[in-house]
Amino acid sequence: MPAWTTSDPVALHARTQPDRIACVDLASGRRWTYAALDEAIQRAVGVLETGHGIEQGQRIAALARNSADLVVLQQAAMRLGAIFVPLNWRLANAEQQAILADCDPVLLLHDVALEMTLPKGCLPIEVAAFAAAVEAQVPAPRRPLPADDAPSIILYTSGTSGRPKGVIVTERNAVATAVNFGVLGRVGNASVFLCDAPMFHVIGLITSLRPPLLQGGTVLISPGFDAGVTNRRLADPALGVTHYFCVPQMARMLRDHPDFAPSNWTALTAIFTGGAPNPAADINWWLAQGVRMVDGFGMTEAGTVLGMPVEADRIARKAGSAGLAAPTIRLRIVDNAGRDVAAGEPGELWLSGPSITSGYWNRPEETARAFTADGWFRTGDIARRDEDGFVTLVDRLKDMFISGGENIYPVEIEMVLLDHPDIAEAAVIGVADERWGEVGCAFVVVKPECLVDPADLASHCSARLARYKVPKEFLLTDALPRTASGKIQKHILRSLAVQGLEQS
């Protein structure tokens, strides 16, 4: 049988609704109808193919802030069968060079001066120069699209364990994620997405772009997140933003900004959050402001996996849960022997479905370890499912530690600490202990103008947790190390804990 071909919603909507606005670049004011965007992509195909000799399977990297030009580039690469690789521009030069060496691109688009040695054969080109070339290029002839199971994007993970891996994303994966989020998030033809999450992350490049483009909606692209600007855009009736996806840290920055006025967000369906735990207290706070905060769970390797309902009363009843499985997702929660656990019991979350990655770029051993013999993807996340099917993420399997024979899940302790009125952020790790094997060590960020005593924090935890779960150490810090997607880098905290405890 022939392979399925890649889905191309932009080309479809260019014929079914050519005059509808598809994309707006907020920084420059440029806008494209579906017909214009489809033509721009074909012009970019011509630039890549005739101007640079790009062939199927070759990698095209980008080191640049969000722009519509990156969307055009990625879609053009998809139509050619080339592979788009967006780099995290927040990384150090050495980290970026390591990623470039791993993916070995033939072209690198950038919007800042390069201060690194590129791999041999990699041609640098500025984003502005690429955009000008696209504008001047004649649209390339149409050609059959590549198979949808071929690599289309490589997204390098944000490195919570210290070493980024290149996750292969096919067009089949991307379309399945668009379907999954589209169903859970009530995305339709009239939807308007504001995208200011970085496009080197799955939220920015896929979750915030593919669902509206699949449905023929509109994407508003911002070069990056700014709490004041985003607040004003959410309240702007001329933009009419219906969907906004962010990590919880971004949501907190919105509410702390002087321009926060959620009563003016009249077009908004919901704020969708993921990428980090979202305390139930925070979700309920947003509901009290009249804003539906819809939490969910996804992965670079799996796209959208879980999502909460959009109705406020359903959110309130299940606040703290990541929701129900998306329509193309099959999931299991299993014990150490791979047996399904009972409702309410914690276990590792396993996934299957068309949104799941085929593996890691240049990492056959790690790819093999990530899947079971019968094809289930091991997420490494501990979860529990209730009698209604709602799934709550308990913790990362690698972050769980054992104290006196008891399994300790740091996220449970972190949620308790975040209930303290003077605590802004908290992270808990396990550290070695002669008596108990491991004990908890909590890193705590105190809210401005507040003072806390570690003994008070211990009492706060003791009133809400079993004694063996209460951290032995409470370390005050100005900030927690985070990745660009907001995830706490616990490998850095483990190093700091060792140093701190050795000095104490």
CATH of the domain at 466: 3.30.300.30
Domain extent at residue 417: 399-503
pLDDT score of 1: 36
pLDDT score of 145: 93
Measure the CA–CA gap between 468 and 462, rounded to whole angstroms: 9
Does pLDDT of 501 surpass 70? no
Three-state secondary-structure class, residue 208? coil
Q: How many domains does the chain have?
A: 2
Q: What is the pLDDT of residues 238-256, one digit of tens each?
A: 999 999 999 888 999 999 9
Residues 381 and 489 occupy one common structural domain:
no
pLDDT score of 3: 46
In a domain, 287, yes or no: yes
Residues 378 and 428 occupy one common structural domain:
no
DSSP string, 103-129: H--SEEEESS---SPPPTTPEEEEHHH
Measure the CA–CA gap between 471 and 469, rounded to whole angstroms: 6
pLDDT score of 446: 94
Residues in a beta bridge with 440: 430
Tell me the percentage of the chain whose pLDDT exceeds 70: 96
Residues 174 and 298 occupy one common structural domain:
yes
Does pLDDT of 171 surpass 90? yes
Q: What is the pLDDT of residues 281-335, one digit of tens each?
A: 899 999 999 999 999 999 999 999 999 999 999 999 999 999 999 999 999 999 9
In a domain, 4, yes or no: no
Q: What is the CB neighbour count within 10 angstroms for residue 461?
A: 23
Residues 130 and 275 occupy one common structural domain:
yes
In a domain, 130, yes or no: yes
Q: Which residue has the higher pLDDT, 124 or 468?
A: 124
In a domain, 30, yes or no: yes
Q: Please state the pTM of the whole predicted model.
A: 0.86
**Neighbour-count burial of 36, counting CB atoms closer than 10 A to its CB (0-12 exposed, 13-18 middle, 19+ buried):** middle
Measure the CA–CA gap between 455 and 224, rounded to whole angstroms: 40
Residues 338 and 480 occupy one common structural domain:
no
Of the residues 391, 422, 452, which one is the last residue of a structural domain? 391
pLDDT score of 158: 63
CA distances from 82 to 49, 389, 415 (A): 10, 40, 43
Residues 162 and 41 occupy one common structural domain:
yes
pLDDT score of 502: 53
Of the residues 360, 391, 422, which one is the last residue of a structural domain? 391
Confidence band for 503, pLDDT divided at 50, 70 and 90: low
Of the residues 391, 423, 458, which one is the last residue of a structural domain? 391
pLDDT score of 211: 98
DSSP E strand stretches across 36-165: 59-63, 83-86, 107-110, 123-126, 151-156
Residues 412 and 372 occupy one common structural domain:
no
Residues 367 and 488 occupy one common structural domain:
no
In a domain, 44, yes or no: yes
Token pair 């580039």 is found at 73
**The domain that contains 18 carries what CATH number?**
3.40.50.12780
pLDDT score of 274: 87
Long-range contacts of 358-365, Cβ-Cβ distance < 8 Å, separation of 24 or more? 358/149, 358/151, 358/168, 358/170, 359/168, 360/165, 360/166, 360/167, 360/168, 361/102, 361/103, 361/151, 361/154, 361/165, 361/166, 361/167, 361/168, 362/102, 362/166, 363/165, 363/166
Q: What is the pLDDT of residues 197-224, one digit of tens each?
A: 999 999 999 999 999 999 999 999 999 9
Q: What is the pLDDT of residues 63-115, one digit of tens each?
A: 999 999 999 999 999 999 999 999 999 888 888 999 999 999 999 999 988 98
How many CA atoms lie within 13 Å of 251's alpha carbon, on the beta-carbon side? 26
Measure the CA–CA gap between 182 and 109, rounded to whole angstroms: 30
Does pLDDT of 50 surpass 90? yes
